[in-house]
A and B are shown apart, each in its own frame.
Chain A
């Protein structure tokens, strides 16, 4: 069956370090992959989208990689700040006509000052 896995354990890092979050998937051939940020009590907020033919995408302190051979995406936040503390969700858009996203369960990031 199709599966998206994100580390369910919270990731705790010190301010200024790089946070790296992992998204693994099985039995998918996604057209693209998206990352969202979700704060408690709020809806997810879009961060980055990367297509299957792209290896890497950057936006300010954020970087996403997409390896369709390994079926994995890595999400990096450089020079992390306490304000980056949130849950980060990986979402896949399949290559079929289906437009809805399939989400992982998210990884909670805690940046300590």
Chain B
């Protein structure tokens, strides 16, 4: 079956612009996670959805970052007024129930802010 997909795979934007990153989780997975990974580091948690609601957004670095999951499936991570420090790979993962079991990751979106 289809795994987690993310679009675009690469995004180059200028400092100050707005970007949207999309995640399509595995069908039937109620839990969805966004992580950010910098070179040489492990993924860093941003936000977790259970269904349509953000159950934990404690990892969002500031109010320029926002994510939605309006119908409980596809999610969009939105970054306003991008900064060069936002450059990283943004990973999305989903899991069956969010009880902390294994997570299935997408390939990531590489964001470069120039």
Give A contacts to B, CB under 8 Å.
4, 8, 31-32, 34, 36, 41-46, 49, 89, 91, 93, 98-106
Contact = CB atoms under 8 A, between A and B. Distances in A.
A102 B107 CA distance: 19
The 9 tightest CB contacts between A and B, nearest first, are A103-B42, A43-B105, A46-B102, A100-B45, A93-B100, A105-B42, A100-B48, A44-B105, A99-B98
Contacts of A42: 107-108
Interface in B65-114: 91, 93, 98-108
Q: Chain B interface secondary structure, helix, strand, loop or mixed?
A: loop
B4 A99 contact: no
Contacts of A104: 42
Nearest to A95: B100
A91 B107 contact: no
21 contacts: A8-B40, A31-B100, A41-B107, A43-B4, A43-B107, A44-B105, A46-B102, A46-B103, A46-B104, A49-B101, A49-B102, A99-B31, A99-B56, A99-B99, A100-B33, A100-B45, A101-B33, A101-B43, A103-B35, A105-B42, A106-B41
Contacts, number: 61
A77 to B, nearest CB: 18
B85 to A, nearest CB: 18
A103 B43 CA distance: 6
A100 B102 contact: no
Contact of A100 (B40, B59, B107, B108): B59
Interface of B: 4, 31, 33, 35, 40-45, 48, 50, 55-56, 58-59, 91, 93, 98-108
Contacts of A45: 105
A104 B40 CA distance: 10
A66 B70 CA distance: 39
Nearest to B95: A99
B45 A102 contact: yes
B108 A99 contact: no
A37 to B, nearest CB: 11
